[in-house]
Chains A and B, each alone.
Chain A
Amino acid sequence: MRFRNMNWAPYLLILPSFIYLLLFFGWPMIASLQLAFRRDSQILPLRAEPGAETPVVGELERGTTVEVIDVQLFETQKAGGLLTEKVFWLEVSGPNPEGETVTGWALRGNVFVQDASRSDRGTVRAATATLRAEPHPDAEPVGELPRGTALTILEWGKVDSKVAAGGLLQKPQNWLRVSGETASGEVVEGWVNRAPLFLEDAKISAQGRVQSGEGSKEWTLDYVKRMLRDPKFMQALRTTLLLIVIILPIQFTLAIIMALVLQSQLKFNTLFLYIYAIPLGISDLAAGLVWYTIFTQNGYLNSFLQSLGLIERPFIFISSTNKEWIIVAIVLAEVWRATSIVMVIVVSGLQAIPRDYLEAGELFGASLWQRLRHIILPLLKPSLQVALILRTILAFQVFAVVVAISGGDVVTVLANETYRWYDIGAYNNKNVAAAYAGFIMLLSLSIAIFYLRAVRTQEEKEAAA
């Protein structure tokens, strides 16, 4: 019985981390991808009664034209009756996706009511409403309607004003000619002040359209298409890739040189390490701002060039017509900010190379270049691989530096577009933002897989074969 003899302890020990990974990585990742591919707020459930707790009697798709049958103000007591939440519920009727006509209640916010015609329905909400022969409080009463009576409004009239504060304030009173059934079952017609009536919101018309719902089971490519159609998409993708192509080779060359300098055991070795490491402690936004102040019109670079007498007046590097210089500034900022992280990885890789190999190389008379080319670089491959993956993924996420230096309009990158779609002050569309985020993830994943295969060590290749 292999199964019984198996040692379960390590599996049990690793279980919490596994659950942690699932909970804090897997689940949010799937949830955010769902945003990009699942249609949101598409299906509106209709309820049997006003109120979110009542059973669902049918579903309507977004965009369905519906007939508005009734309106009710729904009150929920909160905080032990101290607060009353009041929301309108509409009774609507329309065809569901299967083509059957369904009728039920929905929150008013979910149904867009088209025109501003006046409602012809109402209910009495005072204890009683007195109907009068004329639209005037002193006119002869013709009937009494108890609270809750449903009314049909026949005519709107506006008469005399309520006056207050010695005539400074005036309020024309709306009087309505209505018909309704009295307690004794008699139908009466007459004029009544609008105040004691509950009008089904004067803006409710007979026609409406479902404008949002509570989610759906439908998958869609609409958000991805919207992203691809966005004119900024290609610009952003191009700039992001361009930045990677320029920045990465510079960073790796610099990082290897820096690492070799540190390895060479010079006198002020540690001082170099500290200087190299400073940018690591600076946020990318701050780095962007630093380079902005260097490249701006009255910035350090222009002052420097002017003091040398090289230029007469400041040269405007960052401008809508000078995209090349904006790219240069971004490249410099990114190289300055993120080269040391590559260096740290390379240094640790260098330290792992056994001295004997280098000494053997020296013994056989290999030059510095030959040692670098044939001993150091091949043995550095695993570290370089890690650094490459890390740097490329981070390069796909470049954001604050670009926004700080360029303003984000003339030169834009994928992460900036993601934010623009997410931002409440901008598109406020989390679905398209999720599509962008998913796209960045896809690029990062494929590049990581490519690196893992392309930069394999000899042993890995043999193992694979």
Chain B
Amino acid sequence: MNKKLRALVLLAVVAMLAGAMGVSAQDNKVTFMSTQFNIVEEAEKFRAILADSGLEVDYLPSDEQPVFDTLTGEAGQEVGSVDVVGALHGTFPTLVDADVLFDLSGLLAQIEAEVDIADAFVELGKMGTTDYQYYIPWMQATYIMAANVEALEYLPEGADLNALTWEQLAEWGANIKEATGEARLGFPVAGLWHRVLQGYLWPSYTGGMVSQFNSPEAVEMMTFVRDELWPNVHPQSITYEFMQEPLLSGEVWVALDHTARLIEAFNEQPEQFVAFPAPAGPAGRGFMPVVVGLGVPANAPNPDGAVALIQFLLQPETQGAVLQNLGFFPVVAGVDTSDLPEGIAIEQAAVSAQASAPDALPALLPVGLGARGGELNEIFKAAANRVLLDGEDIQTVLDQEAAHIQALLDDTGAPCWPPDPAGEGTCQVESLQ
């Protein structure tokens, strides 16, 4: 027998033994199906983190559709095949409708006895109910503010960086402009501008994203942006895609953008930049988190294992490891950032402060628009750009674009998503009811 063949036979025997052991250990196995980390390298990194759990976790990265198919398909069986499901907030409505998830209130109470989970996300996990915890928040990604330390001396009197308001931001910009002669606030108008509008400005002033789109509060917001904020915004903002570049070049001193689009600034010059939460408006501190949650199917084969796995994933150490290796931010307080790369540590403090701010108002990515989600982005951008860049009348523009939004909602039948209040049927722009 040649060497190669012998090695092959040996390998086959080992594989069979390992398989047999796998079967015998199946009782303790926890099956974790997740729509996140489904790229091979990410999945490998995440499996390495899971290896520290002391559990035997079978990690199954997947697309969204197979999650629906598996969980609804197995709903009638006494014992299913999945113990824990990890998915974006937007995946859960379908699972809630299918009525296939455990209420995790008890588990949440136990976890919260040890770690502090951001309340805003816990609320999202109830999916509009008051007493049914469909998912426990797992991790987040979001948009935060960044400022050059040189700008700090122009901060309006009495303004707290961690509790800034939009008015104070405008005043800050005006102070900077007065002192340096240049407008140095910055927004990614050629980048994720629509998220700034959908998740920050509209919710902060109207408390909703689409339901109050052309309300008097929205008009007030747009007037404020046009008259007080925009004159202090760097005119070259129309070309900014990633705010890290104008921040590093010094063109812009204060900016709002996605953490991934600011990270270079914090990594390259950690002493030069500070991170802090987005400003608040009259209706709250609107911000747009991408929330990933953990649910347990009602027919989980190993519910005890599921509980242990969720407890492990919510530990600050695990959350820190996920942040360091996979770039998703923690939802719990008390993550040790001393070992993290400096840029990530700076961002982490701001992300955490933003999510746990007392007036935090999470505005989620649109749910239920399907392939036409991009259209909503275009409508928001058109509304802002027509007012700010083309100088059109605010009320006229908002009314016209509100009609476009309603047509889109009617076509897709999308129900409201947070922060707009959940209601029966298709979401409505209130003024058009």
Hey, which bits of chain A sit against chain B, CB under 8 A?
A: 84-86, 112-116, 125-126, 161-162, 164-172, 174, 194-198, 202-203, 211, 231, 292, 296-298, 313, 316, 318-322, 405-410, 420, 423-428
Contact = CB atoms under 8 A, between A and B. Distances in A.
A430 to B, nearest CB: 11
A319 B238 contact: yes
B239 A202 contact: no
B2 interface: no
A116 B424 contact: yes
Interface stretch (B54-62, B169-177, B299-307): B299-307
B375 A427 contact: yes
B298 A171 contact: yes
Contacts of B388: 320
B269 interface: no
A84 B107 contact: no
Given A195-B77, A428-B374, 20 more contacts: A86-B73, A125-B76, A126-B76, A161-B103, A165-B303, A168-B110, A170-B106, A171-B298, A195-B75, A198-B76, A313-B181, A320-B237, A320-B238, A320-B388, A409-B189, A409-B389, A410-B238, A425-B374, A427-B375, A428-B371
Contact of B189 (A164, A194, A407, A426): A407
Given A164-B102, A171-B102, A203-B97, A195 B76 contact: yes
A86 B69 contact: yes
Contact of A298 (B75, B250, B300, B425): B250
Contact of A169 (B99, B237, B307, B411): B307
B378 A427 contact: yes
B110 to A, nearest CB: 6
Contacts of A162: 298
B307 A320 contact: no
A409 to B, nearest CB: 6
Q: Which of A126, A161, A164: most chain B CB closer than 10 A?
A: A164
A169 B251 contact: no
Contact of A115 (B69, B182, B378, B425): B425
16 contacts: A85-B69, A112-B412, A114-B413, A115-B424, A168-B104, A169-B104, A169-B296, A171-B103, A196-B76, A198-B76, A231-B386, A296-B251, A297-B251, A319-B235, A426-B378, A428-B371
B432 interface: no
Contact of A423 (B69, B102, B374): B374
Nearest to B103: A170
Contact of A319 (B75, B236, B303, B415): B236
Contacts of A313: 181-182
Given A114-B413, A298-B249, A427-B374, A406 B239 contact: yes
Interface in B340-378: 371-372, 374-375, 377-378
Contacts of B99: 174, 194, 202
B100 to A, nearest CB: 9
Nearest to B310: A168
A172 B378 CA distance: 42
A428 B375 contact: yes
A255 to B, nearest CB: 30
A316 B237 CA distance: 11
B155 to A, nearest CB: 23
A407 B238 contact: yes
B395 interface: no
Interface in B302-345: 303-304, 306-307
A443 B241 CA distance: 32
Given A169-B103, A297-B251, A319-B236, A195 B374 contact: no
Nearest to A322: B235
Contact of A321 (B181, B235, B374, B415): B235
